Homo-oligomer: A and B are copies of this chain.
Amino acid sequence: MNPTRRVFFISDRTGLSAEGMGKALLEQFENIKFKQMSYAFINTEDKAHGLVQIINRQAQDDGIRPIVFSSVVDESIGRILAEANALHISLFDAFLSLLEQELGTPARHSVKSRVANVERYDARMEAVNFALNHDDGVSEANLKEADVILMGVSRSGKTPTCLYLALQYGIRAANYPLTPDDLESPDLPRMVKAHKNKLFGLTINPERLHDIREERRANSNYSHIDTCKQEVRDAQAMFRRHQIPFTDTTHKSVEELAVNILQECQLKRRF
């Protein structure tokens, strides 16, 4: 029986990518339990020394050295952290020298002093506002401005996907909820007809939809398993009839859905 292994994700910036990478690596060892902690913005030598003490104490308490995933760019901070009693995995170092060689130029080895990226901010805010303004109702004007229009029955996952597309890529994603009226018609809903090339459908397992809807309105016609089955069947039939690309959201994370849609609709990121 392996003991629980302590893991530190350390970065001199947000550390989001390093954490994602580290977690993906750990997922490859399913028999081992990990306890993970994140330390972001470790951007001074003082903070680094303090963290080394924490790591060393942990190593002592656990009787086994922790694993450190570091995406620290600053060399002097990196050197301090490397002295901790841990398996030190520096996600950057190995590749930086490889790239230096390939590109024939030395790397900066320091955190970029971030200039205010106004353009990026603006694109993101516009997309977030777009998603927020259109979450409740759609108008012709909105659909015209949209980069993509997500269609699906109520609670099929449209809202978080629209928001994620906006925050992550600055994409203006509109949200078209398929009403029972829409679903009964052999036609595409009137409002979206003119924008057929922007449509993307979301579908979901009816049992899962039933569970989600029960949370919101228990024992209602809306959440009844028969309603869910019927709506999902009708929606899928509509997507197929009109050749609208669609995907099942049941087992997908918002990240997966967003990348899926980006790829399938060949959307251009705004940053």
Contacts and interface: CB of A to CB of B under 8 A. Distances in A.
A71 interface: yes
Interface stretch (A15-23, A190-198, A235-243): A15-23
Contact of A89 (B16, B23, B98): B98
A200 to B, nearest CB: 16
A1 interface: no
A116 B208 contact: yes
A185 interface: no
A112 B21 contact: no
A31 B124 CA distance: 27
Contact of A251 (B14, B114, B124, B252): B114
Given A28-B107, A29-B103, A105-B32, A14 B255 contact: yes
B256 A13 contact: yes
Interface string A3-38: 001000000011111111101111111111000000
Given A21-B71, A107-B29, A163 B128 contact: yes
Contacts of A124: 160, 254
Contacts of A138: none
A120 B21 CA distance: 19
Interface string A53-74: 0000000000000010001010
Identify which of A17, A21, A71, A122 gathers the most chain B CB atoms within 10 Å of its CB.
A17
Contacts of A91: 21, 91, 95
Interface string A230-271: 000000000000000000001111111011100100000000
A115 B112 CA distance: 39
Interface residues of A, number: 74
A164 interface: yes
Contacts of A258: 14
A218 interface: no
A96 interface: yes
8 contacts: A16-B255, A17-B19, A21-B71, A29-B108, A40-B263, A67-B99, A87-B99, A114-B251
Interface of A: 2, 5, 13-21, 23-32, 40-41, 67, 71, 73, 87, 89, 91-92, 94-96, 98-99, 102-103, 105, 107-109, 112, 114-118, 120, 122, 124-125, 128, 132, 135, 159-160, 163-164, 167, 208, 211-212, 215, 250-256, 258-260, 263
